[in-house]
Amino acid sequence: MAAPVLTRLADRLGLPTVRDDDTRSTAVSRAGYAAVLRDGPFLGVVAVVLVLAPSTLVPTLIMAVYIGVALDAPVWIAGALLTLNTTMIACTQTSVTRVIEHRDRTVVVALGIALGPMSRQ
């Protein structure tokens, strides 16, 4: 839904766009932000991530409020759990990336889609 809006914006700004597969190979060889801004499918993915990323962060942040207010636990516990969660993500992200970087992208995306709902409470 955001990709057509971004494409129209790029047209109005006068940015050149890549329309067919033959010219795409020459666009890849260019460097800089202009080449990134011309990549419509990539901008669409970025727009979707910008919309969905906050929804994955909200449960973690609400957990801190829940611990402090509903459970009447000391406030430092919420901070410690948030720090533990961030540390676990930072450590496992590197390991998982090393394992999947040589795999087929389609399989990795399919696996991510399958495992995504299981990671939510």
pLDDT tens, position by position, 11-61: 666 666 655 554 555 545 556 888 888 888 889 989 988 988 888 778 878
pLDDT at 59: 81
Would 69 be classed as within a structural domain?
no
In a domain, 102, yes or no: no
Tell whether 35 is covered by a domain: yes
Task: Please indicate, yes or no, if residue 28 is contained in any of the structural domains.
Answer: yes
Is residue 67 one of the residues assigned to a domain? no
Q: Going by C-beta distance under 8 Å and a sequence separation of 6 or more, which residues neighbour residue 12?
A: none
Q: What residues contact residue 6 under an 8 Å CB cut-off, 6+ apart?
A: 40, 43, 44, 47
Residue 38 lies in a domain: yes
Within-domain flag for 100: no
Using one digit for the tens of pLDDT, what is the confidence trace for 67-106? 888 988 898 998 898 899 889 988 999 898 898 889 998 8
Cα Dmax for the chain: 63
Cβ-contact 78, 86 below 8 angstroms? no
Span of 1-5, 65-69, 104-108, 116-120 with lowest mean pLDDT:
1-5
Residue 1 maps to a domain: yes
pLDDT of 116 reads 78
pLDDT computed for residue 1 by the predictor: 52
When divided into structural domains, the chain yields a total of: 1
